[in-house]
Structures are given as C-alpha cells and as structure tokens.
Structure 1
Amino acid sequence: MKSWILVTVMLLSSLVSSAQKPFSKGRLKVSDNQRYLVHRDGTPFFWLGDTAWELFHRLTKQEADVYLKHRASQGFTVVQAVALAELDGLNEPNAHGARPLHNNNPTTPNEAYFQHMDFVIDKAAEYGIVIALLPTWGDKVFKDKWGKGPEVFTTSNAANYGEWIGKRYKDRENIVWVLGGDRTPRKDSEDLTVWRLMAEGIAKGAGGNKEVLMTFHPQPNGLEMGGSSHWFHNDPWLDFNMLQNGHCRDEITYDKISFVYNRKPARPVLDAEPIYEDHPVCFNAADLGTSNAYDVRKFAYLDLFAGAFGHTYGCHDVWQMYGEGRAPVNGPHMSWKNALDLPGAKQMTFVRRLMESRPMLDRVPDQSLIEENNNGPSDRIQATRGKDYVFIYSSAGRSFTVNTGKITGKELTAYWYDPRKGEAITIGNFPNAGKHLFKPPTSGYGKDWVLVLDDAKMGYGFGGVKDGRKLN
C-alpha cells in the first residue's frame, strides 16, 4: 500500500509539472482525424475543464491566482469563464470596481475591466491552463428570466465586439472561444445571425478561422440531441461541438454524445456542462437531494467512452465563486475555496490519468465490445478502444461479457481501474479471442469500475508499476 501511495503522489506531481509548462507545443487545433484537439506540433491535448463562469467578474487577482494554481495542481487543463458574466455582470463591478462596458454599450468596452481579464488569462497560461472564453453570457443576447443582464447585442454591433475582443487576445495561445452562454437560439429571431456575426468578428480580429478554435455552449434541451451541432454543425467557424446535460442525475448524455459523434462531417464533441458536484439534482434538492462525487465522475467516463474528446467538471459552489457577502444561487453549501477539494474534483485527476495512459488519438467508441450494453444511466456499461487497448466502464459494478479480437495482439493483459482511487488491480492474461465474462471487484451504487484490456506485448501498465496491485 505504501508503494501505491508513493506512486499516486508521483503521478500527481507529474500532472502538476506538465500542466505548468508554457504553451511551447503551440496553440490548439483539431486533430487530422477530426476527433480530438492537439497542439500545433501534433501533441495530443486532453480537455479536463472546470466551469468557473464568474472567474473574471468576482475574483480579485490574488484569488484568481489561488484558484488557477489549485486547479492546475489537480490536473485541470481548461477553465471555462465568461467576459460579460451571468450574475449581473454588466452592472455589478468586478472585484476591483470596474464594469466591462461603458453605458452597457458593446462598442465602448472599459479598458480597466479587460486589463483584469488580461492578468487572469496570462496567469492561467503560466499554469498551463487553457481559457475557454465566452465573450458574453447568453442573457446579453436574450431577454429572459435567467441572468440579469440587459439585451445589448444586435446584428449591428455583434461583429464589432467580436472583432475587438478577438484582436485583443489574438496573441494569447491559451484561448479557445465559446459562444452561446447557456442559450437556445429563438425560432424566427435574429439570434442565429447575432452569434454568427460575433463568430465572424472574432475570427477576423484574431487573424482568420485557422488561427482560432470556436464552439457554442447550448442549453441542455439543445433541440433534439445535437447541442451546438443542431444549428452550427456546418458553419465554417465551428470547430467542435458542445453539449450540456442539465444537472439531472440520470440523463442519457452518452447517447447524445454518440449522436453528435456520428454526424457528418466529423467534429470533436464533449459535454461542457454536466451535472455539477454539490448541486441540487434537477434543481430540486428537497425531493432529489444534492449531487455527489459518483454523479459527476459517472458522466465523465460514460461521455468519454461514448466518443467525447474531453470532459468538463463543474462544482455548484465554484461556478458562482460563492463566498461571504455573496447572494447564493440555488443553495450553495460552502465557499468556493473550500469546494475546490470536493471528492469529485480530486477524482477528475484519475479520469485524466487513465485517458492519457494509452494513445488517445486512435480511440473510438465501440459498444460491440460488450453484450450487456442496453442499460440506463444508473447501470450503464460503456466501451471504447484504441488499436491496442480497450476501456469498459461499468457504472454500478455489473458483470459483463467482452467480445474480444477487436484490438491487436494474441494475448490480453487485464486490469480493473478504480475511479475512486486511481489505482489499477491486475486481473491476469487472457487470449484475444472468443467471449470472456468479467465481474468487477464490487458492485452497487457508487461501485463503478473500468476494465482495461491491453495487447499484452505493449506493456502499458499503470504509473510506472507494470502489473499494478494484484487482485486477491
């Protein structure tokens, strides 16, 4: 056990060290197979995001540094944050007393506010973190009940604002652009035109579509199953698709990921707002309780194995940067600083560790690997594979039968990977032919496991310990 503690510490240190390197490998782009993100030199990039929507609006420079440093130490690679923030972000000044726009006019931005954003974005870069930057939350385009900002963007100013903010951050290599801000474009309105004009403006200001990555953050209903792809899949500015699951416990987001994954042309896809940790389930804590670590990690594995290129974690106390003197939104339980170390956040480290332990860019979803694959979210089994490895997630430790022969090698090495601890347990070796039944070490609510099958000759192992911990 002591050796495993040492290995875990070494792995965490490795994650921190790699995260803190500058962007020497270049800004991000879509991989050649149109399924993943890579650096300009081709190095794979795993999107492990956190939703910090109020980062620019509510935190001081010192607090932002604390937050970013901590998330980097946990292995997060992306932070999703909003320039014109949701919680009265136009009228309530930021932590240093500046509002983003003069007279709420997008054509007259306030330099002091954006200098603060400059600092936070540059600090993120120091820690190796990409900022998934929303130029505005959706209520600045829509007049509705969610959010407090007035509707300030129109077809006459969206492109100008986009060009201005795109030009401002064109030289920051740690920027990915996210339009939308939790909104469904209204039917028979100018909403789609506004977003498209803003996207064109950003691309123009930043030097062209090839120099930026852009996507769209939708509402959970997303019209059918497509999320951002429903409106923008064929738009030249959209580089990858986003979904949101709506903060309910048993959403079939993995099927929505699969639906978008299979659209043509191929584009990367991920769940950019799953159920948050410590959030009222379906906004109904009285009847359904509050989400926990199992809820959030389950969606990470199900979505990734269904074809997502990365995953975003979220915490209810953190997205709103809740603290003393702040009006609570939907019942947060603790300050954002205390919430940084909730169990689900720590377990995201293990998600990233597993996904980066094998070649990422040839990984594909493949439910034909398993026979028991028609269960709901509470008992779902989801499978994915590369050329020489297989990952199968059993969300409640249910046994399953594997159809082998779908990866290279005559012999397979099998492990159980524990999503709670990030430890691997060696099962043994099996022929890469026929059907094999696997029974996880434990089963029931919260007893999820990942089966790992490797082409035995590859010797991938885990964390420098080739055979992991033996299964008793």
Structure 2
Amino acid sequence: MKRIFLMVYLMLITSTMTAQKLVVSENQRFLMTEDGRPFFWMADTAWELFHRCDREQADFYLEKRAAQGFNVIQAVALAEIDGLFTPNPYGDLPLINADPDRPNPSYFEHVDYIIKKADSLDLYIALLPTWGDKVFKNSWGIGPEIFTTENARRFGNWIGHRYKDYDNIIWVIGGDRNPRPNSDDVEIWNEMAEGIAEKAGGYEGTLMGYHPQPKEKGGSSTWFHNEPWLDFNMHQTGHCADRGTYKHITHDYGLKPTKPVIDAEPLYEDHPNCFNAKELGYSLPEDIRRIMYWNVFAGAFGQTYGCHDVWQMYSLDKEGINGPLRPWTLALDLPMANQVKHLKNLFLSRPYITRIPDQSMVLGKQEENNDYVSVTRDALGTYALFYFPTGKTTTVDMSALKGSEFLSWWYDPRTGNAYKASPIKSSSTLVIEPPTSGKGQDWILVIDGMNQNFGVPGKSLSID
C-alpha cells in the first residue's frame, strides 16, 4: 500500500514540476536559470534529510524553508550518521548488504519523493551521492569504506541515470573530505563524478561541485579545479566565529580558468564555537551574518546557511552530535533562518551578473579583524554596496562609480528594511558613518547612480 501511494504521488507531482535547470553564467561567475534569470544560491544544510525524516516531516521541513526564502537544500543519499546500517523511518537501508552495486529501490523511492516535493516548491536539491566516510573514515564517521576506483563510476552511473531527468538536481561530490596525499581518493571522486556525468547528460547537462573540509586557500579547487566535471568551487570555512572567510572566496575568485565559488559550509547557527562550547559558547547571529555578507561581497555566487540542530535532524529520542541545543523542528525558526532571505533579496534587487568585488574603494589599510569593511559594485559603475560588520566609520573612494550625484540607502541585514539616506554629490572621497556601531551593529550602504531606477534595496528589481 505504501508503494502504491508513493507511485501515485510521484505521478501527480511530476506534472507540476517547477524548477528550471541551472547553468553557469556566460562570465563564469554566477548561476542562472536556463531562461536567463540570475540565481542567487541561498541554501540550507540538511545532510540527514533523506535518512532521518519521514514524508510528513520532510514536507514540513521543505515547506518551512521555502517560505523562509531558501532555494537550495543540501542533502546526502548515503548519509553520515550510520547511513548504511541504520534504516530510514520506513525500515529501508540504501544499499543491500552495503554493496554500492546493489542500491535498494525502496530507500531511493523515498529519496525520489523528497526531491520531487522540493521541486514542487521551486527548491533545488544539492545532492551528495555519499558522505565522505564511505571513501575513508579518517578520525570521524563509521563508514564502512565501500568505494573503490572500480565501483565508484558504476555507482555514479546508477545514481546519475536515476536522476537524469530531474531539473532541480545540483550534484555535489565529496561529502566533507579532503583527498589524502598518496591515496586513490582523487581518482575515486573523479570516477564517481565522471560516472554521474556519463548518465545524467554529460558535462553540459549536469551542474557539479565538490564539498571539502576546511582548508587554507583553495577548497575543491586544490584537487579538481581543472576537471571538466567541476562547474563551481566549494569551500567549507568551518565552525569558528573569528575567521576571515572572505579570503577563501578571494583565492578561488582569482583562479584560471574562471569558475563560480561559494562557501557551502560556514559557521552553523546553534553550533559550539570551534567545537568548544564550554570556553567559547555557541554561535551568534551577528557572527553568521558577517561571514555570509563577507563571502558574497568577496564574489561568491550565493551562500549556504546551516543550523547544528537541523543538519542532523536532531530530536530528543536521538543521540546528539556535538551538543545540539534543541529539536530540529524548533530550530527552524532561529533568528538567522529568518534573516538569510535579506541577503538574497538585496543582491537580486540590483543588476547581478555584472557584479564584482572591489576592495580598492576602501581607502587606508584595514586590519583583518571583525571590523573589516567589504565592497562590491557593478562593473559598469551604476551602483556599489558597502558592508560594515561593526559600523566602523570608513573613508571610501567613489571614482569607480559613474555620475555626478547618487542616491543612497541604509540596508538593515537583520530586518531587510531600507532607509533612504541623503543624496551624495560626486567627489573622489567620502567619509561614511553608519547609523550605529558596535558588535552586532552591521549595516550595508547602497549607493545608486541618480539616473538608475533600481528601486528600494531588497525589493524586486524594476528597470524601465
């Protein structure tokens, strides 16, 4: 009966598929829909979604995240938390006898259901075929290590073929692992990625990244930047509050060939800072906001959010990992989960594909601390955005902008509200003093050319 219901549901929901396939923009910096609309990646991290949630829970989760403005959900088919031997809520394991050549149809019918439900809500699934402990366990994860250079391509073929017709799939290889030196790891991941591409539409028909562990400078680019299957680079900047995450984005932004870059795992909400809650406490919204705005201002094509309670779908009947503070259903409404849409809305309210980072607009040496002011602007000089993490008074160079007079707005990243400021006369330098200052008092100054018609920051872009 369960399977009959699922088949009927999938037939019905297929007729209402909404998501368009995503492609890389012509300038190789951003993502777009096939019909040419800019796509700002605003993801949530739900690694255990397929493994720990039944259909009712998955519906609740996806509907909530869609309503909050998310458009990508990062989830894993062969999950992290004993994903091969602890069944899903319906008693199904993903593989028969933990054999990657024998996927269990019942388990993947549940995955199908969730992906199609996401599609009906215009949500994309950043699908990890496996967590990294199935390649090697390192110091965490229980594996077992089931993938080899011989079977990784076959599993890639299988899962690629299964989801080849799903336009809301973004493929993510890796699963929180950096390939080990003097090992087969790079070859295994390459084989899996190539296997997916073979059966899911080739390099042109798939969109693919790689999810690494934290690493200085390059993330995925360290091993895979020149691979034809890698369409965009990913970083994991880790779970400490006081890190210059923008430097990771800047590193990959400057690589050749040009590829889009994103932070796919930053500091999570409700997460112990540096895994040390006793001495450092838990993450704060202002720290997460700073990381996110820094990254996007540095040139990232979007940003991933995560909540420590939600990624593991923690509930009171389960053993928590690294001290979750509340059940996932309650954590869905934490402050940052309702603030991340303001980041997406701000950037989509101005011309997006021509946006570039430009730190040369900040005059004087900046200390690399939490006061660091970031700048992004239109390459054509029609607008500029300045992010002030602590409201520090700053002198900027206006010469990159075109015009003799400018409109200005203060944008509040906590509420998404914009407040019109005084017009600005053209001059080579400008001293900017945000409305408030101090920890948690972050602001964005939006400067528009007077003859532009971009409208209120954070609202839909309207150009005559």
SS in 2 for 1:428: coil
**Which of 429, 433, 436 pairs up with 2:427?**
433
Q: Separation in 2 of the partners of 1:173 and 1:464?
A: 28
Structure 1 residue 219 corresponds to structure 2 residue 209: no
Deviation per residue, 1:387-444 (Å, 9 max, x gap):
3111110111101112112123321111111111111111111123310111001100
Paired letter, 2:316: E
**Which of 49, 60, 63 pairs up with 1:55?**
49
- Consecutive unaligned residues of structure 1, counting only runs of 5 or more, are 1-20, 467-472
Structure-1-length-normalised TM-score: 0.92
2:347–2:458 Cα contact (<8 Å) kept: no
**Which of 77, 82, 93 pairs up with 1:88?**
82
Q: Separation in 1 of the partners of 2:399 and 2:370?
A: 29
Q: Separation in 1 of the partners of 2:176 and 2:419?
A: 41
Structure 1 residue 113 corresponds to structure 2 residue 99: no
SS in 1 for 2:339: helix
SS in 1 for 2:264: strand
Deviation for aligned residue 1:463: 6.5
Matches within 5 A, 1:328-407: 328-372=320-364, 374-386=366-378, 387=380, 388-407=382-401
Deviation per residue, 1:218-270 (Å, 9 max, x gap):
0002xx41000011000000000000111001111101100100000100001
**Which of 222, 226, 240 pairs up with 1:248?**
240
Structure 1 residue 27 corresponds to structure 2 residue 21: yes
Partner of 2:8: none
Structure 1 residue ranges (4+ consecutive) displaced by more than 6 angstroms after TM superposition: 463-466
Partner of 1:162: 156
Deviation per residue, 1:70-101 (Å, 9 max, x gap):
00001001000000000000010011110000
1:22–1:127 Cα contact (<8 Å) kept: no
Alpha carbon RMSD of aligned pairs, Å?
1.5
Matches within 5 A, 1:153-302: 153-221=147-215, 224-302=216-294
| Identity, % of aligned positions | 52
SS in 2 for 1:458: coil
Q: Which moved more, 1:137-146 or 1:271-280?
A: 137-146
Structure 1 residue 323 corresponds to structure 2 residue 315: yes
Partner of 1:40: 34
1:153 to 1:371, Cα distance in 2 relative to 1, 3 A: same
1:241–1:268 Cα contact (<8 Å) kept: yes
Q: Separation in 2 of the partners of 1:260 and 1:463?
A: 28
Q: Separation in 2 of the partners of 1:373 and 1:254?
A: 16
1:82–1:133 Cα contact (<8 Å) kept: yes
Deviation for aligned residue 1:23: 6.3
Paired letter, 2:182: D
Deviation for aligned residue 1:373: 5.6
Q: Separation in 2 of the partners of 1:266 and 1:23?
A: 32
Q: Separation in 2 of the partners of 1:108 and 1:257?
A: 39
Structure-2-length-normalised TM-score: 0.93
Paired letter, 2:411: Y
Deviation for aligned residue 1:464: 9.2
Partner of 1:98: 92
Paired letter, 2:229: W
- Consecutive unaligned residues of structure 2, counting only runs of 5 or more, are 1-14
Paired letter, 1:115: E
Deviation per residue, 1:143-192 (Å, 9 max, x gap):
32211220000011000000000000000000000011110100000000
Paired letter, 2:291: F
Deviation for aligned residue 1:43: 0.9
Paired letter, 1:126: S
Deviation per residue, 1:313-348 (Å, 9 max, x gap):
000000000012111000001111110110011110
1:22–1:128 Cα contact (<8 Å) kept: no
1:279–1:315 Cα contact (<8 Å) kept: yes
2:136–2:143 Cα contact (<8 Å) kept: no
Q: Separation in 1 of the partners of 2:300 and 2:78?
A: 28
Paired letter, 2:371: D
2:133–2:142 Cα contact (<8 Å) kept: yes
Deviation for aligned residue 1:22: 6.6
Structure 1 residue 128 corresponds to structure 2 residue 129: no
